[in-house]
Amino acid sequence: MRKISLFLFFLLLPAAPLQTQTREVAITIDDLPLNGAQFEPARIRKMTENFLAAIKKHQIPAVGFVNETLLYRAGETDARIAILKQWIEGGVELGNHNFSHLGFANAALADFEDDFVRGDAVTRILMKPNKPRYFRHPFLQMGKTAADEKAFEDFAATRGYKMAPVTVDVMDWLINVAHAKARAQNDEALIKRVGEEYVKFAAQRFDYSEQIAQELFGRPIKHIVLMHANELTAENLDALAVTLKSKGYKFISVEDALQDPVYQMPEKYLGTSDRLGHWAFSQGKKLTPPQPAEFLQQPYLDNQRNRR
């Protein structure tokens, strides 16, 4: 009898709550110096200050990926280069996101390699005595074939580069359009609401990636989250970091994250550096990540429509 009740006792013990597990994530920020619709350097400087304050407060070892084409704006080039310096002085390591945000899916290997080489000319000088060592594929597009991708990665390796895939996409590149629109309308209440909903949505995306990692690998993994150099994330990174810490997250470097074997290329090739999606595809699974609320998506969709 005693044996049975002891057995029942263990059976009824709740599984360890997730919050007590250590979760790890490396934070990466794409499209430096400014993601999305462009605005003047004073405002970019302010945005960068907000980012750096949150990074310092939470001791986040971030990597920022630069598109050097964004440095060349009439009358703004010096100021935009100074903004890259601001990131470096704030302790953020810079990486290469190629020169013109060229996607690999529709580019010839030689063109993609050239755009990569052009991509770090200024960054390399600013970072001395350090050297850029991480590359992020624009649009997360890897080569059309595994052979193209391998050729590019081998070429990049001769210049000291490793690839930086992602496992969490908080979709700030999309939600930022709603944020920018609210700001253009001076709608403070809406700016605040978009920010709060973004943090909640980002937390859902983290939960989803944890769940998928558990299904694919049977264990928690070292995540890499994709964010962007925009005002939405700059103004909400502090709140997001607080939320992540309350979920048990520790901020790690990209170098540390890449030690996790999940970052080895899956067997079956899919041209994306969304690494969980790639692994899922390789295992014949389809992912259905949560999507942002309609009011967060609509301004982005309207923009896309107007561009056509």
The number of residues making up the chain comes to 308
Closest to Zn ion by CB, 101 vs 193, is 101
Identify whether the C-beta of residue 227 lies closer than 8 Å to the C-beta of residue 28.
yes
Closest to Zn ion by CB, 30 vs 169, is 30
| Residues 120, 124, 226: CA angle, nearest 5 degrees | 55
Closest to Zn ion by CB, 28 vs 209, is 28
Taking CB atoms, the residue at the shortest distance from Zn ion is 30
Tell me which residue has tokens 């992912």.
287
Pairing of strands 162-163, 134-135: parallel
- Binding flag, residue 210, Zn ion (CB under 5 A): no
Closest to Zn ion by CB, 102 vs 122, is 102
Smallest distance from Zn ion to CB 261, Å: 26
Identify whether the C-beta of residue 179 lies closer than 8 Å to the C-beta of residue 231.
yes
Which of the ranges 30-38, 124-132, 213-221, 282-290 carries the binding residues for Zn ion, by CB under 5 A? Answer: 30-38
What is the x/- site pattern for Zn ion, positions 138-167, by CB under 5 A? Answer: x-----------------------------
CB neighbours of 243 closer than 8 A, spacing ≥ 6?
A: 199, 202, 203
Give the tokens for residue 48.
Answer: 């960068």
Which of the ranges 23-31, 53-61, 114-122, 125-133 carries the binding residues for Zn ion, by CB under 5 A? Answer: 23-31
The neighbour count for residue 108, using CB atoms within 10 Å, is 11
How big is the site for Zn ion, counted in residues (CB under 5 A)? 3
CB neighbours of 199 closer than 8 A, spacing ≥ 6?
A: 236, 239, 240, 243
- Binding flag, residue 30, Zn ion (CB under 5 A): yes
Query: In this chain, which of 25, 26, 29, 31 binds Zn ion, going by CB under 5 A?
Result: 31
Binding site for Zn ion (CB under 5 A): 30-31, 138
